[in-house]
Amino acid sequence: MKLLRFGPKGAERPGMLDADGAIRDLSAHVADIADDVLTPAGLARLATIDPACLPLVEGGVRYGPCVGHVGKFICIGLNYSDHAEETGASVPSEPVMFMKATSALSGPNDPIIQPRGSTKLDWEVELAVVIGNRVAYADEKEAAAAIAGYCICNDVSERAFQLERQGQWAKGKGCDSFGPIGPWLVTADEVGDASDLAMWLEVNGRRFQDGSTRTMIYKPAFLVSYISQFMSLQPGDIISTGTPAGVGLGQSPPLYLNPGDTVELGIAGLGTQRQAVVAAR
């Protein structure tokens, strides 16, 4: 299944994508794509619904973040061998974890807002894991069973804030609009093996990232298991799993985003995103 949220910011409604790529309204069945809806039992109930029987959503609508009520927005740094190499970093002996503020979440086609004082605004196409079952101290088998599905995340970063302001990554990772997710949550059964998905990102029509999840160092089930040793994970928590080579920081010379630029990105089977860069007001 492909599950989504649509409508104005703060008033999104739950939806499902039908076989023709049209949005169907799930509001009569669930309040949101969140919480218990994401558990195995909740997804099983949704799977019994024929999308053709749901109201068709017509006209152009905004896609919201594909998951609601996100409790934790966890990211993994330097998790692709080619990206670690381009930044001159060593492959980490354990996953590098950091958090993005949940207020950074935005829709897949919402603008990227360049913060005041920003000089090094960067992009990162990433595969994000959505948790569907509470887990703590999970082994990899339990962790795999706890994955509700996957979506695209653009881990937008402000490198000067991240690397030059006392090395605290949260400063450069958690700004408003720095976490577009969606357009859809694709359930784990439909994605199947997530270890070889093509992924790409373009800026103003020029392709910078053209990689695959096969160069991911720590795979999704391992990451869920690993993180669960430090904190419990709940339905709706998001883990963004890192990016392949081709970020702005890795260019020679480095290249960064400015207002007026357009970013487009996608992952095989998970859809695409498109964001315009605008200045903070």
CA–CA separation, 244 and 277 (whole Å): 22
Residue 101 has a pLDDT of 97
> Has residue 111 been placed in a domain?
yes
Is residue 160 domain-resident? yes
Domain that holds residue 205: 68-279
Which pLDDT belongs to residue 40? Answer: 97
CB within 8 Å of 198: residues ≥ 6 apart: 211, 212, 267, 268
State how far the Cα of 186 lies from the Cα of 21, in Å rounded to an integer: 13
270: in domain: yes
Mean pLDDT of the chain: 95
50 assigned to some structural domain: no
Residue 37: inside a domain = no
CA distance 210 to 82: 11
Look up the CATH number of the domain holding residue 123: 3.90.850.10
Q: Is residue 165 part of a domain?
A: yes
Residue 21 falls inside a structural domain = no
pLDDT at residue 28 tops 80: yes
Q: What's the structural domain count of the chain?
A: 1
**CA pair distance 70, 147, nearest whole angstrom:** 14
223 — pLDDT class (breaks 50, 70, 90)? very high
Whether residue 109 has pLDDT greater than 80: yes
The pLDDT of residue 46 is 98
Q: What is the pTM of this model?
A: 0.95
Q: What is the DSSP string of the chain?
A: -EEEEESSTT--EEEEE-TTS-EEE-TTT-S-SSGGGGSHHHHHHHHTS-GGGSPB--S---B--SS-S---EEEEES-BHHHHHHTTPPPPSS-EEEE--GGGEE-TTSPEEEPTT---EE--EEEEEEE-S-BSS--HHHHHHTEEEEEEEE--EEHHHHHHSTT-HHHHH-STT-EEB-S-EEEHHHH--TTS-EEEEEETTEEEEEEEGGGBSS-HHHHHHHHHTTS-B-TT-EEE----S--GGGSSS---B-TT-EEEEEETTTEEEEEEEEE--
Q: Report the alpha-carbon distance of residue 73 to residue 236 in Å, rounded.
A: 9
pLDDT by residue (tens digit) across 61-94?
999 999 999 999 999 998 998 777 777 777 889 9
